[in-house]
Structure 1
Amino acid sequence: MKRVVKIAGLGLAALVAVLVVVGFFLPRKWHVEQVVLVNAGPEHIYPLVSDLKEWPSWAAWNKDMDPEVKWEYGGPASGPGAWWSWNGPKMGRGKMTITKSEPGSGVWVDEMIETDKEVNAKGSLTWTTQGGGTQITWVDEGTLPPVIGGYFVGFIENMLANNFQTGLTKLKAAAEQRKGAAAAVQAEQEGTAVAAPVAAPATP
């Protein structure tokens, strides 16, 4: 019996050693890219992305995902230097900081995710004119910790791809709604101007 246990222990140790060695050589960098075509201009998209307080209204990371999550915001109200941190049992602990933002082209962010080891990533939401609309491209990439990180690259990429597509679908709807609201206000203002009574000329 002792011999069997010893052999099993040696076999397990050998398996662990193999997994560790293989883990050192597995690619640990992830890269995710998702796109959506929006029937709205950058002026309707930018406010939803450059203000991090707007993200929970369209991004997949919200109270529905983690009802107990705690959020904090800091820095300027929007644009470079603005940051958003989260801490929850499902979303974990992390922080996102805007490093660059241009109304006509996009927003770039740095991300920090705290697990047993800190994971840093970079992402961007950029947009270009596409036909009569705007194409938004969401990119994110980072490197997982050594040894076990390589085993989870595929899982991370699939999870983020699904979350990004969910977020882009909601962002599209929100931007198009803003466009519609702006058009309604403009139409109302123009209608009011046209309907305004013209004063009759004074009688001499």
Structure 2
Amino acid sequence: MKALLKGLLYLVLLLALVCVGGGLLLPSTTHVERSISIDRPPAQVYAMLDSFKRFNEWSPWYAMEPEAKYSYSGPESGVGARMAWDGETVGRGSQQIEASAPQKIVLALEFDGSRATASYALAAEGDGTRVTWALDSDHGYNPIARWFGLLMEKMVGKDYEQGLARLKQVLENDPR
């Protein structure tokens, strides 16, 4: 019996060592991005993305849980504009515009205590606009966050694709 317990203890210690040590060998940052071409001029796309007042029209997360509570603070658009949410499915978090220029908008994200940066890069493309939505996370020395970072591409990438498709639909159905 003592040998079995000792063996189990060694197995648990080995697993912990692999999880922690292996986690520290994983990348400390995660980058996810998706792009789409929208048949609207950059100024019109910029006006939509530089404010949260119409965010839920195209947000993939609003579609998951429209009954979540949303609140807005700061200016209506530009640096300092802030949106917070609280829901069962979408969790609790906020996003705030940290930098805003016609070519790029940068957002500070907080989601259930984790922090990340999102951005929208806008580039003229013919008569339309190429929009690139990106997420960057720094996991530091947290091995669990580094393991989780391996899943971000699959999890967030799909949401970004859905959101950009909805953004395209909303903007292209708006009058010019």
Using the size of structure 2 for normalisation, the TM-score is: 0.90
Contact kept in structure 2, 1:119 and 1:144, CA below 8 Å: no
Contact kept in structure 1, 2:107 and 2:119, CA below 8 Å: yes
Ranked by relative contact order (alpha carbons within 8 Å, sequence separation 6 or more), the top structure is: 2
Consecutive unaligned residues of structure 1, counting only runs of 5 or more, are: 183-204
Q: CA–CA distance in 1 between the matches of 2:66 and 2:167?
A: 21
Deviation digits for residues 4-38 of structure 1 (CA, Å, limit 9, x no counterpart): 23312221222212221222222131101111011
Aligned to 1:119: 114
Aligned to 1:158: 154
Amino acid at match of 1:147: P
Amino acid at match of 1:6: K
Aligned length: 175
Amino acid at match of 1:150: R
SS of equivalent to 1:77? coil
Aligned to 2:11: 11
Using the size of structure 1 for normalisation, the TM-score is: 0.79
Q: CA–CA distance in 1 between the matches of 2:172 and 2:138?
A: 35
Does residue 139 (structure 1) correspond to residue 134 (structure 2)? The answer is yes
Aligned to 1:198: none
Select the residue among 123, 130, 148 that pairs with 2:125: 130
Bigger radius of gyration:
1
Contact kept in structure 2, 1:71 and 1:87, CA below 8 Å: yes
Does residue 167 (structure 1) correspond to residue 163 (structure 2)? The answer is yes
Q: CA–CA distance in 1 between the matches of 2:19 and 2:60?
A: 33
Q: CA–CA distance in 2 between the matches of 1:42 and 1:12?
A: 55
